[in-house]
Amino acid sequence: MIHLFLKRLGQAAFVCWSVGTLGFALMRLLPGDMAFRIAAGRYGYDQVNLAAAEAVRAELGLDRPAWRLYLEWLFDLLRLDLGDSLVSGLPVLGEILHLLGHTLLLAGAAMLIAILIAVPVGLFAAFRAEGWFDRAALVASAFLRAQPVFVIGLLLLLIFALELRLFPVAGFDGARYLVLPAIALALSMAAVSNRVVRHSAGAVIASAFFAFARVKGLSFAQAFVRHGLRNGALPVLAFLGIQLAGAIEGIVMIESLFSWPGLGHGLAHAVFNRDVPMIQGAAMTLGLIFVGLNLAVDLACHLVDPRGRSDE
């Protein structure tokens, strides 16, 4: 158990270092003068001129060698100081904490909806394997999964926001704003996970221990609740850990599409403005969310499966 925590902690440290370093290197490799782009971000493209760019360069010390800037950043990271935003001048940490709340709300709502869709659909398809419902679920899953998540978002926007005017188009000002982005993200996640649930439940129903439970005299429902759920949950949980990477990617796209004031949206803005500390901070936080969720999945597996527990 402690071993698991230490492993995840090591992963978290590695994520911070690698994501930050990658962001640092990539921003320097992009074409164009960095000081000029940052100045443009601050004052707007109409106002910016060479003098403003030089002022920015001098202020941020961008004329110093890259390795010095990198080492400074690394040292600050060790002190948990993510620096100040190049655009707003505010500490990155504060901005990120503000955005993080919105992202977690969106991600949490999306996951909840995804579970509410994927588990019943997957189970029902497994109980009637190869029936019409199973086939329809397969086709729908393939169709949804084949779309990039922003296409699903756009479709929802067109239908429910622009045509039917049921929900607002973008921004955040109350629960109604949450509905469309959360559903778009949830549909994309549920498209694969309902098939994983279906296969996992199907495998359990076909297993020898399920057959034996029936022969012992248990009804189908009793056997499924007592033996199917736990055994079937394990592969689903394992898959969830993998799917989270895709969910993070989806969050960036959906937040940008719906102008949701979260980390993904903040990250996209920071990229356009060459706001390097902000990019590093936002990407790092998304990476840490991924590690944290994986830890949650590990803990869930540990609770469900008594076999690997070290105390036995």
**Residues 219, 245, 292, 303: which binds other proteins (CB under 8 A)?**
219
- To other proteins, the closest distance from the beta carbon of 230 in angstroms equals 5
Q: Which of 230, 288, 300, 302: binder of other proteins (CB under 8 A)?
A: 230
Half-sphere exposure of 156 (CA within 13 A, CB side): 26
Bridge partner residues of 91 (DSSP): 84
Per-state percent for the chain, helix, strand, coil, to nearest 5? 80, 0, 20
CA 175 to CA 172: how far, in whole Å? 8
Among 50, 226, 242, 292, binds other proteins (CB under 8 A): 226
Is residue 216 involved in binding other proteins (CB under 8 A)?
A: yes
Q: Does 305 bind other proteins (CB under 8 A)?
A: yes
- The reply on whether position 304 binds other proteins by CB under 8 A is yes
Interaction between residue 311 and other proteins (CB under 8 A) = no
C-alpha closest to that of 197 among 226, 225, 234: 234
- Burial pattern 4-31, b for ≥16 Cβ within 10 A else e, equals eeeebeebbeebbeebbeebbeebeeee
Q: Give the whole-angstrom CA distance, residue 206 versus residue 227.
A: 12
Judged by beta carbon, residue 210 or residue 258, the one nearer other proteins is: 210
Q: Which is nearer to other proteins, 183 or 213 (CB)?
A: 213
Counting contacts by CB under 8 A, is residue 215 touching other proteins?
yes
Compute the least distance from the CB of residue 284 to other proteins, in Å.
37
Cβ 179 to other proteins, closest distance in Å?
Answer: 38
Closer to other proteins by Cβ: residue 21 or 207: 207
CB-CB contact of 194 with 118 (8 Å)? yes
How many CB atoms are located within 10 Å of the residue 248 CB?
18
| Nearest distance in Å: CB 236, other proteins | 14
Whichever of 198 and 227 has its CB closer to other proteins, that residue is 227
Residue 211 binds to other proteins (criterion: CB under 8 A): yes
Contact 106, 149 (CB under 8 A): no
Contact call for residues 61 and 72 (beta carbons, < 8 A): no
Q: Among 11, 21, 88, 231, which residue sits at the site for other proteins (rule: CB under 8 A)?
A: 231
Stretch that binds other proteins, among 46-54, 217-225, 254-262, 282-290 (CB under 8 A): 217-225
- Please state, in angstroms and as integers, the Cα–Cα distance from residue 133 to each residue in 7, 13, 144, 197, 233, following that order: 42, 45, 16, 14, 22
Does position 222 interact with other proteins (CB under 8 A)? The reply is yes
- Tell me: does residue 213 bind other proteins (CB under 8 A): yes
84 bridge partner residues: 91
Among 102, 227, 265, 274, binds other proteins (CB under 8 A): 227
Minimum distance from residue 199 beta carbon to other proteins (Å): 13
- Residue 90 or residue 211: which is nearer to other proteins going by CB? 211
Please say whether the beta carbons of 149 and 190 come within 8 A: no
In the complex, the smallest distance separating the C-beta of residue 197 from other proteins, rounded to whole angstroms, is 18
| Pairwise CA distance, residues 179 & 170, whole Å | 11
Residues 58-117 that bind other proteins (CB under 8 A): none
Q: Total residues at the site for other proteins (CB under 8 A)?
A: 22
Per CB under 8 A, residues contacting other proteins are 207-209, 211-219, 222, 226-227, 230-231, 304-307, 312
